[in-house]
Structure 1
Amino acid sequence: MANSSLGSVIDSYDGVFRLDADPTSGHEDDVGEKTSVRVVAPNSISELDVKRELLQNETLVFYGSEHIFSLGLAPKVIFNISSSYPDMAVYRMTDGFEMAANSLFELHTNIKRRKVEMEFSSAFHAVLLMMDVCQESHLYGFIPNEYCLDSRLSQLASYKYYHQRKEDLTECEVYQALAEMGSNRPFKEREVIKDLQEEGKVTVKNRSGPKQVI
Protein backbone atom coordinates (compact mmCIF):
# COMPACT_ATOMS: atom_id res chain seq x y z
CA MET A 1 0.00 0.00 0.00
CA ALA A 2 2.99 2.32 0.38
CA ASN A 3 3.06 5.02 -2.32
CA SER A 4 -0.39 3.96 -3.55
CA SER A 5 -2.11 7.33 -2.97
CA LEU A 6 -5.35 5.42 -2.34
CA GLY A 7 -6.19 6.97 1.02
CA SER A 8 -9.08 9.13 -0.17
CA VAL A 9 -10.55 6.21 -2.13
CA ILE A 10 -10.42 3.94 0.92
CA ASP A 11 -11.97 6.60 3.15
CA SER A 12 -14.85 7.01 0.68
CA TYR A 13 -16.29 3.60 1.62
CA ASP A 14 -19.06 3.35 4.19
CA GLY A 15 -16.96 1.00 6.32
CA VAL A 16 -13.22 0.39 6.51
CA PHE A 17 -11.75 -2.74 8.08
CA ARG A 18 -8.18 -2.67 9.38
CA LEU A 19 -5.89 -5.28 10.90
CA ASP A 20 -4.22 -5.71 14.27
CA ALA A 21 -2.31 -2.59 15.39
CA ASP A 22 -1.72 -1.23 11.88
CA PRO A 23 -1.55 2.58 12.09
CA THR A 24 -3.05 5.22 9.84
CA SER A 25 -1.29 8.28 11.27
CA GLY A 26 1.45 9.35 8.90
CA HIS A 27 0.12 7.10 6.14
CA GLU A 28 -3.20 8.78 5.40
CA ASP A 29 -2.35 9.50 1.75
CA ASP A 30 -1.90 5.78 1.07
CA VAL A 31 -4.30 3.99 3.43
CA GLY A 32 -6.73 6.67 4.57
CA GLU A 33 -7.62 7.55 8.14
CA LYS A 34 -11.08 6.05 8.67
CA THR A 35 -11.42 2.85 10.70
CA SER A 36 -14.79 1.20 11.25
CA VAL A 37 -13.74 -2.30 12.35
CA ARG A 38 -10.36 -3.59 13.51
CA VAL A 39 -9.74 -7.36 13.39
CA VAL A 40 -7.08 -8.38 15.90
CA ALA A 41 -5.00 -11.56 16.09
CA PRO A 42 -3.99 -13.09 19.42
CA ASN A 43 -0.32 -12.24 18.84
CA SER A 44 -1.20 -8.57 18.26
CA ILE A 45 -3.12 -8.04 21.49
CA SER A 46 -0.13 -6.79 23.49
CA GLU A 47 0.92 -4.42 20.68
CA LEU A 48 -2.59 -3.01 20.51
CA ASP A 49 -2.46 -2.34 24.24
CA VAL A 50 0.77 -0.39 23.83
CA LYS A 51 -0.58 1.52 20.83
CA ARG A 52 -4.00 2.21 22.30
CA GLU A 53 -3.82 5.80 21.10
CA LEU A 54 -4.30 4.67 17.47
CA LEU A 55 -7.83 3.49 18.24
CA GLN A 56 -10.70 5.59 16.95
CA ASN A 57 -14.44 5.28 17.37
CA GLU A 58 -14.27 1.78 15.93
CA THR A 59 -15.42 -1.76 16.63
CA LEU A 60 -12.80 -4.24 17.82
CA VAL A 61 -13.11 -7.88 16.80
CA PHE A 62 -10.69 -10.37 18.35
CA TYR A 63 -10.25 -13.97 17.30
CA GLY A 64 -8.53 -16.98 18.78
CA SER A 65 -9.11 -19.92 21.10
CA GLU A 66 -11.47 -19.38 24.01
CA HIS A 67 -8.76 -19.96 26.62
CA ILE A 68 -6.84 -16.93 25.30
CA PHE A 69 -9.68 -14.70 26.43
CA SER A 70 -10.09 -16.22 29.86
CA LEU A 71 -6.44 -16.38 30.92
CA GLY A 72 -3.29 -14.33 30.54
CA LEU A 73 -2.92 -10.97 28.83
CA ALA A 74 -6.04 -10.73 26.68
CA PRO A 75 -8.61 -10.11 29.46
CA LYS A 76 -6.41 -7.37 30.92
CA VAL A 77 -5.94 -5.66 27.55
CA ILE A 78 -9.64 -5.80 26.73
CA PHE A 79 -10.44 -4.38 30.17
CA ASN A 80 -7.91 -1.57 29.67
CA ILE A 81 -9.31 -0.71 26.25
CA SER A 82 -12.90 -0.84 27.48
CA SER A 83 -11.98 1.44 30.38
CA SER A 84 -10.26 3.93 28.08
CA TYR A 85 -13.00 3.78 25.44
CA PRO A 86 -16.25 2.88 27.22
CA ASP A 87 -18.34 3.42 24.08
CA MET A 88 -16.23 1.10 21.94
CA ALA A 89 -17.83 -2.21 20.96
CA VAL A 90 -15.60 -5.24 21.52
CA TYR A 91 -16.34 -8.74 20.20
CA ARG A 92 -14.70 -12.14 19.84
CA MET A 93 -15.33 -14.29 16.79
CA THR A 94 -17.35 -17.32 17.80
CA ASP A 95 -16.34 -20.95 17.47
CA GLY A 96 -19.07 -21.21 14.85
CA PHE A 97 -17.39 -18.51 12.78
CA GLU A 98 -14.08 -20.36 13.02
CA MET A 99 -15.74 -23.60 11.94
CA ALA A 100 -17.23 -21.81 8.93
CA ALA A 101 -13.76 -20.45 8.09
CA ASN A 102 -12.35 -23.97 8.31
CA SER A 103 -15.03 -25.29 5.98
CA LEU A 104 -14.52 -22.52 3.42
CA PHE A 105 -10.76 -23.03 3.46
CA GLU A 106 -11.10 -26.78 3.01
CA LEU A 107 -13.70 -26.34 0.25
CA HIS A 108 -11.37 -24.18 -1.84
CA THR A 109 -8.04 -25.88 -1.09
CA ASN A 110 -8.92 -29.48 -0.23
CA ILE A 111 -6.65 -29.05 2.80
CA LYS A 112 -7.76 -29.32 6.40
CA ARG A 113 -6.79 -26.35 8.55
CA ARG A 114 -4.52 -28.31 10.88
CA LYS A 115 -2.30 -29.25 7.93
CA VAL A 116 -1.25 -25.64 7.27
CA GLU A 117 0.41 -25.53 10.70
CA MET A 118 -0.73 -22.00 11.57
CA GLU A 119 -3.81 -20.02 12.49
CA PHE A 120 -5.53 -18.14 9.71
CA SER A 121 -4.31 -14.57 9.35
CA SER A 122 -6.09 -11.43 10.49
CA ALA A 123 -6.58 -10.56 6.83
CA PHE A 124 -8.34 -13.86 6.12
CA HIS A 125 -10.59 -13.42 9.15
CA ALA A 126 -11.36 -9.85 8.08
CA VAL A 127 -12.32 -10.91 4.56
CA LEU A 128 -14.75 -13.52 5.86
CA LEU A 129 -16.24 -11.04 8.31
CA MET A 130 -16.65 -8.45 5.55
CA MET A 131 -18.46 -10.98 3.39
CA ASP A 132 -20.76 -11.70 6.31
CA VAL A 133 -21.71 -8.10 7.17
CA CYS A 134 -21.12 -6.02 4.02
CA GLN A 135 -23.08 -5.85 0.78
CA GLU A 136 -19.82 -5.44 -1.15
CA SER A 137 -16.24 -6.21 -0.13
CA HIS A 138 -13.34 -4.36 -1.76
CA LEU A 139 -9.92 -5.63 -0.70
CA TYR A 140 -6.73 -3.61 -0.69
CA GLY A 141 -3.26 -4.86 0.14
CA PHE A 142 -3.53 -8.41 -1.22
CA ILE A 143 -0.86 -9.66 -3.58
CA PRO A 144 -1.56 -12.64 -5.87
CA ASN A 145 0.59 -15.76 -5.47
CA GLU A 146 2.14 -15.32 -8.91
CA TYR A 147 3.43 -11.91 -7.83
CA CYS A 148 6.19 -13.58 -5.82
CA LEU A 149 7.34 -15.54 -8.88
CA ASP A 150 8.41 -12.31 -10.62
CA SER A 151 11.88 -11.44 -9.33
CA ARG A 152 11.38 -7.74 -10.10
CA LEU A 153 7.95 -7.32 -8.54
CA SER A 154 8.66 -9.54 -5.54
CA GLN A 155 11.10 -6.96 -4.16
CA LEU A 156 8.58 -4.12 -4.27
CA ALA A 157 5.82 -5.05 -1.85
CA SER A 158 6.78 -4.48 1.77
CA TYR A 159 5.17 -6.83 4.27
CA LYS A 160 3.67 -3.84 6.08
CA TYR A 161 3.10 -0.47 4.43
CA TYR A 162 4.65 1.24 7.46
CA HIS A 163 7.83 -0.88 7.27
CA GLN A 164 9.92 0.86 4.65
CA ARG A 165 13.48 0.37 5.91
CA LYS A 166 15.91 -1.46 3.64
CA GLU A 167 16.38 -4.20 6.22
CA ASP A 168 12.63 -4.91 6.48
CA LEU A 169 11.47 -8.08 4.76
CA THR A 170 9.23 -7.87 1.72
CA GLU A 171 5.92 -9.72 1.77
CA CYS A 172 7.30 -12.39 -0.55
CA GLU A 173 10.32 -12.90 1.72
CA VAL A 174 8.00 -13.41 4.69
CA TYR A 175 5.99 -15.96 2.71
CA GLN A 176 9.18 -17.77 1.74
CA ALA A 177 10.36 -17.85 5.35
CA LEU A 178 7.04 -19.34 6.44
CA ALA A 179 7.23 -21.92 3.65
CA GLU A 180 10.70 -22.95 4.83
CA MET A 181 9.21 -23.49 8.30
CA GLY A 182 6.60 -25.78 6.77
CA SER A 183 3.65 -23.41 6.46
CA ASN A 184 2.06 -22.62 3.10
CA ARG A 185 -0.85 -20.84 4.78
CA PRO A 186 -0.36 -17.41 3.11
CA PHE A 187 -0.34 -18.91 -0.38
CA LYS A 188 -3.37 -21.06 0.35
CA GLU A 189 -5.30 -18.15 1.82
CA ARG A 190 -4.69 -16.19 -1.36
CA GLU A 191 -5.91 -19.10 -3.43
CA VAL A 192 -9.18 -18.84 -1.52
CA ILE A 193 -9.30 -15.06 -2.05
CA LYS A 194 -8.72 -15.57 -5.77
CA ASP A 195 -11.60 -18.05 -5.92
CA LEU A 196 -13.87 -15.68 -4.01
CA GLN A 197 -13.05 -12.93 -6.47
CA GLU A 198 -13.81 -15.17 -9.43
CA GLU A 199 -17.14 -16.02 -7.78
CA GLY A 200 -17.92 -12.31 -7.47
CA LYS A 201 -17.97 -12.36 -3.68
CA VAL A 202 -15.07 -9.93 -3.22
CA THR A 203 -13.19 -7.44 -5.38
CA VAL A 204 -9.41 -7.28 -5.05
CA LYS A 205 -8.12 -3.81 -5.84
CA ASN A 206 -4.58 -4.55 -7.01
CA ARG A 207 -2.40 -2.02 -8.77
CA SER A 208 0.19 -2.77 -11.43
CA GLY A 209 3.19 -0.96 -12.81
CA PRO A 210 6.49 0.39 -11.51
CA LYS A 211 4.91 1.91 -8.38
CA GLN A 212 3.06 -1.25 -7.49
CA VAL A 213 2.98 -1.83 -3.77
CA ILE A 214 -0.32 -3.53 -3.16
Structure 2
Amino acid sequence: MKSLKFRWLFLLLITVSLLLWYNHITKTGEVDLGLRSYVRISPGKSSSRYLVLHCARCAVVSSSGQVLGSRRGREIDGHECVIRMNAAPTHGFEADVGNRTTVRVVSHSSVRRLLHLEAFFFKQEANTHYVVWGPERNMRHDGKGRVFNLLTKLAWKYPDAHIYAVSREKMMQCDRIFQNETGKNRMKSGAFLSTGFFTMIFALDVCDSINVYGMIDGSYCSLTNYSSVPYHYYESNRLDECGMYKVHERVRRGGHRFITEKQIYRRWASQGKLKFQYPKW
Protein backbone atom coordinates (compact mmCIF):
# COMPACT_ATOMS: atom_id res chain seq x y z
CA MET A 1 0.00 0.00 0.00
CA LYS A 2 2.80 2.39 0.96
CA SER A 3 4.62 1.47 -2.25
CA LEU A 4 1.53 2.37 -4.32
CA LYS A 5 1.15 5.74 -2.57
CA PHE A 6 4.83 6.46 -3.13
CA ARG A 7 4.47 5.77 -6.86
CA TRP A 8 1.46 8.10 -7.15
CA LEU A 9 3.29 10.81 -5.22
CA PHE A 10 6.33 10.40 -7.45
CA LEU A 11 4.20 10.68 -10.63
CA LEU A 12 2.49 13.77 -9.22
CA LEU A 13 5.82 15.45 -8.49
CA ILE A 14 7.09 14.65 -12.00
CA THR A 15 3.90 16.08 -13.56
CA VAL A 16 4.08 19.29 -11.51
CA SER A 17 7.78 19.69 -12.34
CA LEU A 18 7.11 19.31 -16.07
CA LEU A 19 4.29 21.86 -15.93
CA LEU A 20 6.50 24.37 -14.09
CA TRP A 21 9.34 23.76 -16.58
CA TYR A 22 7.04 24.27 -19.57
CA ASN A 23 5.56 27.44 -18.06
CA HIS A 24 9.03 28.84 -17.41
CA ILE A 25 10.49 28.20 -20.83
CA THR A 26 7.31 29.45 -22.54
CA LYS A 27 7.66 32.77 -20.71
CA THR A 28 11.35 33.03 -21.56
CA GLY A 29 10.73 32.25 -25.22
CA GLU A 30 12.81 29.09 -25.33
CA VAL A 31 10.03 26.90 -26.69
CA ASP A 32 10.08 26.76 -30.45
CA LEU A 33 6.54 28.00 -31.06
CA GLY A 34 7.31 29.00 -34.60
CA LEU A 35 9.45 28.26 -37.61
CA ARG A 36 13.10 27.95 -36.68
CA SER A 37 14.10 29.00 -40.18
CA TYR A 38 12.92 32.56 -39.52
CA VAL A 39 14.64 34.18 -36.55
CA ARG A 40 13.33 37.34 -34.97
CA ILE A 41 15.56 40.41 -34.80
CA SER A 42 14.60 42.03 -31.53
CA PRO A 43 16.28 44.50 -29.13
CA GLY A 44 14.93 42.63 -26.11
CA LYS A 45 13.17 39.46 -25.08
CA SER A 46 10.19 38.61 -27.26
CA SER A 47 7.44 36.03 -26.89
CA SER A 48 9.34 33.79 -29.29
CA ARG A 49 12.70 33.85 -31.03
CA TYR A 50 11.09 32.40 -34.12
CA LEU A 51 8.28 33.33 -36.45
CA VAL A 52 4.89 32.15 -35.23
CA LEU A 53 2.54 32.12 -38.19
CA HIS A 54 0.19 29.68 -39.84
CA CYS A 55 -2.33 30.57 -42.55
CA ALA A 56 -5.06 28.42 -44.07
CA ARG A 57 -5.25 30.43 -47.32
CA CYS A 58 -2.53 32.73 -48.63
CA ALA A 59 -2.30 35.13 -51.53
CA VAL A 60 1.20 35.63 -52.92
CA VAL A 61 1.30 38.88 -54.90
CA SER A 62 4.02 39.30 -57.50
CA SER A 63 5.59 42.68 -58.20
CA SER A 64 5.24 42.06 -61.94
CA GLY A 65 3.39 44.36 -64.31
CA GLN A 66 1.18 41.34 -65.04
CA VAL A 67 -1.06 42.37 -62.13
CA LEU A 68 -2.00 45.67 -63.80
CA GLY A 69 -5.62 45.60 -64.92
CA SER A 70 -6.35 42.34 -63.14
CA ARG A 71 -8.95 43.87 -60.79
CA ARG A 72 -8.13 41.11 -58.29
CA GLY A 73 -7.51 43.41 -55.31
CA ARG A 74 -10.64 42.49 -53.39
CA GLU A 75 -10.05 38.79 -54.07
CA ILE A 76 -6.47 39.09 -52.80
CA ASP A 77 -7.54 40.89 -49.62
CA GLY A 78 -10.07 38.11 -48.95
CA HIS A 79 -7.30 35.65 -48.09
CA GLU A 80 -6.31 35.01 -44.50
CA CYS A 81 -2.73 36.08 -45.22
CA VAL A 82 -1.36 38.28 -48.01
CA ILE A 83 2.33 37.92 -48.86
CA ARG A 84 4.14 40.61 -50.87
CA MET A 85 7.70 41.07 -52.04
CA ASN A 86 10.21 43.74 -51.08
CA ALA A 87 8.77 47.27 -50.90
CA ALA A 88 6.09 46.89 -53.58
CA PRO A 89 3.47 49.58 -52.86
CA THR A 90 -0.27 49.08 -52.60
CA HIS A 91 -1.37 52.74 -52.57
CA GLY A 92 -2.77 53.67 -55.95
CA PHE A 93 -2.87 50.02 -57.06
CA GLU A 94 -5.47 48.67 -54.62
CA ALA A 95 -7.91 47.56 -57.33
CA ASP A 96 -5.28 45.24 -58.80
CA VAL A 97 -3.10 44.18 -55.85
CA GLY A 98 -5.27 44.77 -52.79
CA ASN A 99 -4.44 46.72 -49.67
CA ARG A 100 -3.71 44.21 -46.89
CA THR A 101 -0.21 42.95 -46.14
CA THR A 102 0.56 40.19 -43.68
CA VAL A 103 4.15 39.45 -44.70
CA ARG A 104 6.77 41.06 -46.89
CA VAL A 105 9.63 38.84 -48.00
CA VAL A 106 12.51 41.26 -48.51
CA SER A 107 15.85 40.95 -50.26
CA HIS A 108 18.95 42.20 -48.47
CA SER A 109 19.38 44.63 -51.35
CA SER A 110 15.89 46.09 -50.81
CA VAL A 111 16.19 46.88 -47.10
CA ARG A 112 17.23 50.45 -47.87
CA ARG A 113 13.95 50.92 -49.74
CA LEU A 114 12.17 50.13 -46.49
CA LEU A 115 14.36 52.68 -44.73
CA HIS A 116 13.38 55.39 -47.21
CA LEU A 117 9.75 54.96 -46.14
CA GLU A 118 10.29 53.58 -42.66
CA ALA A 119 7.46 55.60 -41.09
CA PHE A 120 5.03 53.89 -43.48
CA PHE A 121 6.42 50.37 -43.20
CA PHE A 122 7.07 50.32 -39.44
CA LYS A 123 4.25 52.57 -38.22
CA GLN A 124 1.38 52.51 -40.69
CA GLU A 125 2.09 48.86 -41.56
CA ALA A 126 3.24 48.05 -38.03
CA ASN A 127 1.51 44.67 -37.98
CA THR A 128 3.28 43.44 -41.11
CA HIS A 129 5.94 40.76 -40.69
CA TYR A 130 9.19 41.42 -42.55
CA VAL A 131 11.20 38.34 -43.52
CA VAL A 132 14.63 39.33 -44.85
CA TRP A 133 16.93 37.03 -46.78
CA GLY A 134 20.52 37.62 -47.78
CA PRO A 135 23.99 36.09 -48.10
CA GLU A 136 26.09 35.41 -45.03
CA ARG A 137 28.38 38.39 -45.65
CA ASN A 138 25.43 40.79 -45.25
CA MET A 139 23.45 38.92 -42.60
CA ARG A 140 26.17 37.72 -40.19
CA HIS A 141 25.53 38.50 -36.50
CA ASP A 142 29.05 39.40 -35.36
CA GLY A 143 28.81 43.12 -36.10
CA LYS A 144 30.17 42.73 -39.63
CA GLY A 145 26.84 41.99 -41.31
CA ARG A 146 25.98 45.31 -42.89
CA VAL A 147 22.32 44.56 -43.60
CA PHE A 148 21.79 42.71 -40.32
CA ASN A 149 23.15 45.78 -38.49
CA LEU A 150 20.62 48.00 -40.27
CA LEU A 151 17.80 45.65 -39.27
CA THR A 152 19.00 45.63 -35.67
CA LYS A 153 18.90 49.44 -35.60
CA LEU A 154 15.36 49.34 -36.98
CA ALA A 155 14.37 46.86 -34.27
CA TRP A 156 15.72 49.20 -31.58
CA LYS A 157 13.92 52.17 -33.11
CA TYR A 158 10.65 50.24 -33.53
CA PRO A 159 10.65 47.65 -30.71
CA ASP A 160 7.21 46.34 -31.68
CA ALA A 161 8.24 45.70 -35.29
CA HIS A 162 8.09 42.13 -36.58
CA ILE A 163 11.45 41.73 -38.31
CA TYR A 164 12.86 38.29 -39.07
CA ALA A 165 16.00 37.03 -40.79
CA VAL A 166 16.09 33.87 -42.88
CA SER A 167 18.54 31.61 -41.07
CA ARG A 168 21.83 30.49 -42.61
CA GLU A 169 20.57 26.91 -42.47
CA LYS A 170 17.44 27.86 -44.41
CA MET A 171 19.51 29.66 -47.03
CA MET A 172 21.57 26.50 -47.49
CA GLN A 173 18.41 24.41 -47.69
CA CYS A 174 17.08 26.64 -50.47
CA ASP A 175 20.32 26.04 -52.39
CA ARG A 176 19.78 22.30 -52.00
CA ILE A 177 16.18 22.59 -53.19
CA PHE A 178 17.35 24.47 -56.30
CA GLN A 179 19.97 21.80 -57.00
CA ASN A 180 17.53 18.93 -56.43
CA GLU A 181 15.00 20.52 -58.80
CA THR A 182 17.42 21.53 -61.56
CA GLY A 183 20.41 19.20 -61.18
CA LYS A 184 22.64 22.29 -61.05
CA ASN A 185 24.67 23.66 -58.18
CA ARG A 186 23.47 27.24 -57.70
CA MET A 187 26.88 28.75 -56.95
CA LYS A 188 28.74 26.85 -59.68
CA SER A 189 26.09 27.86 -62.22
CA GLY A 190 26.58 31.53 -61.33
CA ALA A 191 22.99 32.01 -60.18
CA PHE A 192 21.40 33.94 -57.33
CA LEU A 193 18.01 32.82 -56.09
CA SER A 194 15.35 35.51 -56.46
CA THR A 195 13.08 37.06 -53.85
CA GLY A 196 10.27 35.25 -55.66
CA PHE A 197 11.94 31.91 -54.91
CA PHE A 198 12.32 32.69 -51.20
CA THR A 199 8.73 33.93 -51.14
CA MET A 200 7.46 30.66 -52.59
CA ILE A 201 9.50 28.64 -50.09
CA PHE A 202 8.18 30.82 -47.25
CA ALA A 203 4.57 30.44 -48.39
CA LEU A 204 4.97 26.67 -48.59
CA ASP A 205 6.27 26.75 -45.01
CA VAL A 206 3.38 28.73 -43.50
CA CYS A 207 0.32 28.23 -45.75
CA ASP A 208 -2.07 25.33 -46.28
CA SER A 209 -3.06 26.61 -49.73
CA ILE A 210 -1.50 29.31 -51.89
CA ASN A 211 -2.96 31.43 -54.68
CA VAL A 212 -0.42 33.35 -56.74
CA TYR A 213 -1.23 36.58 -58.57
CA GLY A 214 0.75 38.29 -61.30
CA MET A 215 3.30 35.59 -62.09
CA ILE A 216 3.81 34.18 -65.58
CA ASP A 217 4.94 30.63 -66.28
CA GLY A 218 8.35 29.66 -67.61
CA SER A 219 7.24 29.38 -71.23
CA TYR A 220 5.49 32.76 -71.50
CA CYS A 221 8.50 34.76 -72.68
CA SER A 222 9.29 32.24 -75.44
CA LEU A 223 5.91 32.77 -77.11
CA THR A 224 5.94 34.94 -80.21
CA ASN A 225 2.79 36.80 -79.17
CA TYR A 226 3.58 37.52 -75.52
CA SER A 227 2.55 40.95 -74.29
CA SER A 228 5.17 43.40 -73.09
CA VAL A 229 4.69 44.51 -69.48
CA PRO A 230 6.95 46.34 -67.01
CA TYR A 231 9.18 44.29 -64.76
CA HIS A 232 7.57 46.01 -61.75
CA TYR A 233 3.92 47.18 -61.81
CA TYR A 234 4.88 50.38 -59.99
CA GLU A 235 7.68 51.31 -62.43
CA SER A 236 5.87 51.60 -65.74
CA ASN A 237 8.72 53.32 -67.57
CA ARG A 238 11.38 50.85 -66.55
CA LEU A 239 12.60 47.55 -67.99
CA ASP A 240 10.37 45.09 -69.81
CA GLU A 241 9.70 41.94 -67.78
CA CYS A 242 10.58 39.36 -70.43
CA GLY A 243 13.62 41.37 -71.46
CA MET A 244 14.83 41.28 -67.87
CA TYR A 245 14.12 37.57 -67.55
CA LYS A 246 16.03 36.68 -70.72
CA VAL A 247 19.07 38.74 -69.72
CA HIS A 248 19.23 37.12 -66.29
CA GLU A 249 18.69 33.63 -67.66
CA ARG A 250 21.62 33.99 -70.08
CA VAL A 251 24.18 35.90 -68.00
CA ARG A 252 26.99 33.64 -66.86
CA ARG A 253 27.52 35.08 -63.38
CA GLY A 254 25.33 36.93 -60.90
CA GLY A 255 21.94 36.46 -62.55
CA HIS A 256 18.57 35.33 -61.25
CA ARG A 257 17.22 32.32 -63.15
CA PHE A 258 13.65 33.61 -63.26
CA ILE A 259 12.51 31.32 -66.08
CA THR A 260 14.13 28.25 -64.52
CA GLU A 261 12.53 29.06 -61.16
CA LYS A 262 9.09 29.26 -62.77
CA GLN A 263 9.57 25.83 -64.29
CA ILE A 264 10.18 24.63 -60.73
CA TYR A 265 6.96 26.31 -59.56
CA ARG A 266 5.01 24.48 -62.25
CA ARG A 267 6.15 21.16 -60.81
CA TRP A 268 5.19 22.31 -57.33
CA ALA A 269 1.79 23.45 -58.59
CA SER A 270 1.12 19.92 -59.86
CA GLN A 271 1.19 18.78 -56.22
CA GLY A 272 -1.98 20.76 -55.52
CA LYS A 273 -0.99 23.23 -52.79
CA LEU A 274 0.11 26.00 -55.15
CA LYS A 275 -2.24 27.62 -57.69
CA PHE A 276 -1.63 30.41 -60.18
CA GLN A 277 -4.83 32.42 -60.40
CA TYR A 278 -3.78 35.36 -62.58
CA PRO A 279 -2.46 34.85 -65.17
CA LYS A 280 -3.92 31.36 -65.04
CA TRP A 281 -1.41 28.52 -65.43
TM-score, length of structure 2 as denominator length: 0.68
State yes or no: 1:150 paired with 2:223: yes
Structure 1 pair 184–48 and aligned structure 2 pair: CA distance change class (3 A): closer
**1:21 alignment partner in structure 2:** 87
Deviations 1:125-151 (A, max 9, x none): 011011011111111121112111223
CA distance in 2, matches of 1:184, 1:129: 18
Letter in structure 1 aligned against 2:92: G
Match among 176, 183, 197 for residue 269 of structure 2? 197
Q: Say which SS state the counterpart of residue 131 (structure 1) adopts.
A: helix
- Contact 2:213 2:276 (C-alpha < 8 Å) held by counterparts: yes
Q: Say which SS state the counterpart of residue 188 (structure 2) adopts.
A: helix
- The structure in which a higher percent of residues are strand is 2
Identity between Structure 1 and Structure 2 (%): 28
Match among 102, 109, 113 for residue 43 of structure 1? 109
**1:1-214 counterparts in 2 under 5 A?**
1-55=67-121, 56=125, 57-69=127-139, 70-71=143-144, 73-155=146-228, 157-165=229-237, 168-182=238-252, 183=255, 185-207=257-279
Worse-superposed segment, 31-40 or 84-93: 84-93
Q: Matched residue pairs, number? A: 206
Letter in structure 2 aligned against 1:64: G
- Contact 2:194 2:256 (C-alpha < 8 Å) held by counterparts: no
CA distance in 1, matches of 2:119, 2:93: 16
CA distance in 1, matches of 2:221, 2:120: 31
Deviations 1:76-99 (A, max 9, x none): 532443245321211111122122
- Contact 1:38 1:59 (C-alpha < 8 Å) held by counterparts: yes
CA RMSD of aligned residues (A): 2.0
Q: Say which SS state the counterpart of residue 104 (structure 2) adopts.
A: strand
Letter in structure 2 aligned against 1:175: Y
Segments of structure 1 that go 5 or more residues without pairing to the other structure are 209-213
Cα shift at 1:10: 0.7
Q: Say which SS state the counterpart of residue 153 (structure 1) adopts.
A: coil
**1:211 alignment partner in structure 2:** none
Q: Say which SS state the counterpart of residue 110 (structure 2) adopts.
A: helix
CA distance in 2, matches of 1:7, 1:42: 27
CA distance in 1, matches of 2:149, 2:273: 37
TM-score, length of structure 1 as denominator length: 0.87
Higher gyration radius (CA): 2
